[in-house]
Amino acid sequence: MFIQFTCKTRSNTQDATIEIHIDSISVQLLGIVNVAVYQEETANTIHTAAQKVTGIHNIYLVVRSKKDHDKSKDLLNLEWFEVGR
């Protein structure tokens, strides 16, 4: 059984990844979400499966650029995220 990670990004997002970690960014990587370039004023919901986790944990999201970051634009505009089964 896997957990489901869902997030919504908005407007002018650049190519990026979101790494999902628990308890520390150096401990366990649960999964990676690929975020593609979207047009202005567009909202997209992204789903990905991640490894099974039990118990209560802190969640850490690490956003990384896939290319050279265009500093005139935001790398990622994350509106919300949720973790479920």
* CATH class label, 3-69: mainly beta
Q: Are 32 and 18 in contact (CB under 8 A)?
A: yes
Per-domain residue ranges of the chain: 3-69
Answer yes or no: is pLDDT of 70 > 60: yes
**Residue 41 pLDDT:** 55
Mean pLDDT, the chain, as a whole number? 79
pTM over 0.85: no
Q: Alpha-carbon distance 17 to 76, whole Å?
A: 9
**Residue 38 pLDDT:** 64
Concatenated DSSP letters of the chain: --EEEEEEEESSPPSEEEEEEES-TTSEEEEEEEE----TT-EEEEEEEE----S---EEEEEEESS---TTS-S--EEEEEEE-
The predicted-structure confidence for 12-56, as pLDDT tens digits, reads as follows 677 888 898 989 999 788 888 888 776 655 556 667 777 778 888
